[in-house]
Chain A
């Protein structure tokens, strides 16, 4: 099962500039593990020891995974994943 993952500008140095890449997995965690295999360094930009990083948003289709099941969110055949860093500051 191949999932399309949209990559934000700040992480494109890890994907040789690609705006979207393909990944495999039945849960978000599996998809992120697969991304880390193919694009080393991606994982730590997205997750830390407590889970999804506070200022990283990941969406499955139109849903923020924080309102789904977080890293355990199920990913299906035609789903697409979007990664967006928060726009935030002080």
Chain B
């Protein structure tokens, strides 16, 4: 039984999975911004994984500043912070838990471990990560 809930449009799910496949074998990462207080992910912003690594991701520090300035100007917050696990399950790693810095965000993980860069099954899960505690939530996909 999962209590929290992420409501997300199908097109955004598809775009995240496509980003994960395109950046395979490295981790892909990004944000879906939405209006402050809405909890509604609307604007997908794929980010560059500055460390270009199959097991780590990090936004470039100047990209990060530009991203937060832009969201501020548009009265948005990062509703979803997503990244891929190219070869492991869609569950937060120890590093994901210690680095999580947005207590109000849905942390979305997508795993493409079954087929990698090509079409096929994937795992898509959402979590809250607050003070080192991980709570999985339901996902409701809006068609």
Contacts and interface: CB of A to CB of B under 8 A. Distances in A.
Q: Are A and B interaction partners?
A: yes
Using C-beta atoms within 8 Å of the partner chain, give the interface range for chain B: 20 to 34
B65 A88 contact: no
A87 interface: yes
Interface of chain B: mostly helix, strand, loop or mixed: mixed
Interface in A71-89: 82, 84-89
A90 B81 contact: no
Contacts, number: 65
B99 A89 contact: yes
Interface residues of A, number: 17
A82 B99 contact: no
Given A9-B103, A9-B104, A86-B101, A64 B61 contact: yes
Interface of B: 29, 31, 47, 55-59, 61-62, 64-65, 68, 77, 81, 83, 92-96, 99-104
